[in-house]
Amino acid sequence: MKLNEDIQLDVAEVGERILGRWADIRRHTRSVIIDKKLSKPLGASFEKHREVVLDNLKTLVKEGATQYGFPEALGGQLNPGGSLSSFEELVFADPSLQIKFGVQYGLFSSAILYLGTDYHHEAFLPKAVNLDTPGAFAMTETGHGSDVASIGTLATYDPATKEFVIHTPDRHSYKDYLGNAAKHGEAAVVFAQLITGGENHGVHAFFVPIRKRGKLLPGVGSEDDGLKGGLNGIDNGRLFFDNVRIPKANLLNRYADVTDEGEYTSSIDSPGRRFFTQLGALVQGRVSLVGAVVNAQKKALDIAVRYGLERKQFPGPDGKEKTLMDYGRHQRRLFPLVARTYAQIFSHQELLEQFHVVFSGEGDTEENRSDLETVAAAGKALSTWYALDTIQQAREACGGQGFMAEHQLTGLRADLDIYVTFEGDNNVLLQLVAKRLLQDYAKAFKSPDFGTLATYVAGQVGSAAIHRGGLRGMAQTIVDFGSTARSVGYVKDEEHQHQLLTDRVHTMVANLANKLKHSGPKDKAKEAELFNRHQNDLILAAQAHAELIMWEAFTTALKSIKDKDSLQILTWLRDLYGFTLLEENMAWYVVNGRLSSARAEAITDYIDGRLLPRLRPHVESLVDAFLLSPELIGTNLAADERARQSGKKTLVRN
């Protein structure tokens, strides 16, 4: 049997697995970033940064890095997964460029593609795709935020002129935070309440011209959001409308239309389902953000790990200074983040595949769309939170050097801060996920009670649910006494990790179902009160569900690794991710009788005493597998530290 130090990660194989299905597109976009020098201009004013970003987006168009998701006639491939893959890579250049790309292609152009029909595809889409018409995506309003169904902007049909009148009735209804709104946008896809014949038919999308040759059109107002906490290369701003008239044909009418006489028609009878179908067509925003922040974490960890391998601090027993990475605490702060990032990589690949299947038409079913929306909401929420945590930990792990703007981390975190709010507040998204979990539970048990809870959990996760009466806890204490190896042996098996993680999700959902019940006749006020009281529990259950998805994706990915050494190293890394989840939620497992105190303590001992030492020789290879060149990282921090210690001059920066 090989010693830990004798095995090696096959960086080429693992790196290719990380690049995934659309590896060639990712490589092409990376090459454009490097060859055309599209990196973020450090220290530039936000006015200058905006113009650089617009020019860089034009370069991406010329180099064929933006059109993948659109029809072949427009230079595309109708390749939804490839389009998002290109977008995700742009965080290595400049997050502002990435989001400028996202506004133009993932939101504005995609809304025309997915919500429009042949007329819109011919009249508006070509200029949107080739960037002749920079566009804004005017959904969010100042006073309504994530509550899109309640937006105040009105689109009232006038049968006398066969026009819609777009109007902003009050300050609450200003379209806000919109990329391209302050300066560059020539048109917008505006979401508004469609009114005809005095009846409100809910939120619909309209193509509305807003500027011509840089000047606002009559009735269109705009305000600049100005300097922001990050992403200052984007001209975010507000739009508002004073009875702006547009042709009836500018209604993006894939799902609903209005006759010349003003009669409303729709292929979807239910107003609620119609609303969510239209918004569901734009789920790619959440999917792509997951991939974007995962790439940002790769960059942050590449910087922090390499610096930790070079930076020396304090003498060891032999009198020689030790590298930061040889300290247990430094391993503790970074290795679990590497493990979690790998879990996110593999879960995002599954999400991206699912997105491609739906939006390419290969498997566009109502069930698949519903699953996609749920998993995308969960993934977006956790991944964006994880990104901020990872980048901050990486910054701190680099000490004072990490605070220097030239080393990328502070700017990266500032730019990504708003990603947790993009495409819906994370807490709102997790509530949507929890509602879906409760719906699935309700299908299995129309009248759940504690008896059905026990049956449900036991049926789903087998022996992991046998905890009634404290018998499991007592048995664990007796069997495990005095032996860390024996205590952790049960937990480290893949099957039992899965059981414990699954049990937590199912039990939390089942308990919630019971808590949200109320006796007596249906009472909306009582239901709302119960929901509000248990709102935090809903979010925790959804988070546990998302963590389980990531663990399962990591485990599935292991089956595709052919090199035995790499499989062993990645299995340790997966175990670190699983054990960290158990440790972070240890109170739940102990209180609910799933783990004894001895096993709980053994989990922490196993992380510190076994997993971290096993992974220490391989942490550089694990970040090597991200396949990020120095140009994509954008800092010479580790190399400069190595040169300094050798007495050589530091590297010359561009």
Q: Point out the catalytic residue in the list 423, 547, 584, 641.
A: 423
- What is the residue type of 88? E
Ramachandran angles phi, psi of 237, nearest 5°: -165, -175
> Among 379, 378, 373, 411, which Cα is nearest to 392's?
411
Alpha carbon separation from 593 to 185, 379, 463, 530, 602 (Å, rounded): 58, 29, 13, 26, 16
* Owner of token pair 């739009």: 239
* Contact in structure between 206 and 166 (CB atoms under 8 Å): yes
* DSSP assignments along 612-637, one per residue: HHHHGGGHHHHHHTT---HHHH---H
Measured distance CA(474)–CA(472) in Å, rounded = 6
| Eight-state DSSP code of residue 74 | G
Residue 206 bridge partners (DSSP): 190, 251
- What is the residue type of 122? E
From the CB of residue 330, how many other CB atoms can be counted at a distance below 10 Å?
Answer: 20
Pairing of strands 187-196, 154-158: parallel
Q: Both tokens of residue 444?
A: 């299995």
Q: Calculate the dihedral angle through the C-alpha atoms of 251, 106, 284, 392, rounding to the nearest 10 degrees.
A: -140
Q: Calculate the dihedral angle through the C-alpha atoms of 47, 50, 54, 56, rounding to the nearest 10 degrees.
A: 110
Residues contacting 77, CB < 8 A, separation 6+: 67, 68, 69
Per the annotation, the verdict on 423 as an active-site residue is yes
Helices 564-584 and 494-515: angle between axes, nearest 10 degrees: 30
* DSSP assignments along 459-519, one per residue: HHHGGGG--GGGHHHHHHHHHHTT-HHHHHHHHHSHHHHHHHHHHHHHHHHHHHHHHT--S
> Which contiguous run of DSSP H or E holds residue 189?
strand 187-196
- What is the residue type of 303? I
| Eight-state DSSP code of residue 243 | S
Measured distance CA(340)–CA(551) in Å, rounded = 9
Q: 3-state secondary structure string, 379-438?
A: HHHHHHHHHHHHHHHHHHHCHHHHHCHHHCHHHHHHHHHHHHCCCCCHHHHHHHHHHHHH
Alpha carbon separation from 342 to 126, 307, 558, 559, 577 (Å, rounded): 38, 20, 11, 14, 9
> Among 637, 636, 639, 641, which Cα is nearest to 654's?
636
Alpha carbon separation from 317 to 322, 323, 613, 614 (Å, rounded): 10, 13, 18, 22
The separation between the first and the last C-alpha atoms of the chain, rounded to the nearest angstrom, is 48
Active site residue ranges: 423
